[in-house]
Amino acid sequence: MRFKSLGLVLLASAVLIACAPPPPPFNATEVSNLSYGRGLGIPDTDGEIRRIDDFKGRVTLVFFGFTRCPDICPTTLMRLRQVRNALGEDAHKVQVLLVSVDPERDTPDRLGAYVKSFDDSFIGLRPEPAELEKVVKAFHAIAVKVPTVGDDYTIDHSATIYVYDRENQLRLIAQPTLEIDLFAADLKRLAQEG
Amino acid sequence: MKISLALLLLLASITRVFAADPITIERPWARASAPGQTVGGGFMTIVHQGGGEDRLVSATTPIAREVQIHTMNMDGGVMRMRPVEGGLAIPADGRVVLQPGGLHLMFMDINAPLVAGTTFPVTLRFAKAGEIKVEFNVEARTR
The CATH number for B79's domain is: 2.60.40.1890
Is the pLDDT confidence value at B15 over 70?
no
φ, ψ of residue A78 in degrees (nearest 5): -65, -40
Q: Is B85 inside any structural domain?
A: yes
Q: Is B4 inside any structural domain?
A: no
pLDDT tens profile B25-37: 999 999 999 998 9
CB A172 within 8 A of CB A34: no
Read off the pLDDT band of A151 (50, 70, 90): confident
Q: Is B6 inside any structural domain?
A: no
Structurally, chain B folds into a number of domains equal to: 1
- Mean pLDDT, chain A, rounded, equals 91
Amino acid identity of residue B136, one-letter, is F
Q: Is B43 inside any structural domain?
A: yes
For residue B135, what pLDDT is reported?
98
pLDDT tens profile A158-185: 999 999 999 999 999 999 999 999 999 9
Read off the pLDDT band of B77 (50, 70, 90): confident
Q: How far apart are the first and last CA of chain A?
A: 44
Q: List the single best residue of B43, B79, B136, B143 to mutate versus A (max A Cβ within 10 A).
A: B79
Q: Which residue of B has its CA nearest to A158?
A: B78
Q: Is B8 inside any structural domain?
A: no
**CA-to-CA distance for A76 and A80, rounded, in angstroms?**
6
pLDDT tens profile A89-129: 999 999 999 999 999 999 999 999 999 999 999 999 999 99
pLDDT tens profile A21-61: 778 899 999 999 899 998 899 999 999 999 999 999 999 99
Is the pLDDT confidence value at B16 over 50?
no
What pTM was computed for the model? 0.82
- Tell me the Cα Rg of chain B: 19
Q: How far apart are the first and last CA of chain B?
A: 60
Tell me the shortest Cα–Cα distance from A166 to chain B, in angstroms. Answer: 25
Burial of B137: CB neighbours in 10 Å, binned 0-12, 13-18, 19+: middle
Q: Is B10 inside any structural domain?
A: no
Residues of A in contact with B31 (CB under 8 A): 74
Opening angle at CA A94, ends A91 and A99, nearest 5: 140
Q: Is B16 inside any structural domain?
A: no
pLDDT tens profile A121-138: 999 999 999 999 999 999
For B120, the domain range is 21-139
Domains, in order of start, for chain A: 26-191 (3.40.30.10)
Test A157 with B35 for CB contact under 8 angstroms: no
Q: Is B69 inside any structural domain?
A: yes
The whole-number average pLDDT for the span B50-67 is: 94
Question: ipTM above 0.95?
Answer: no
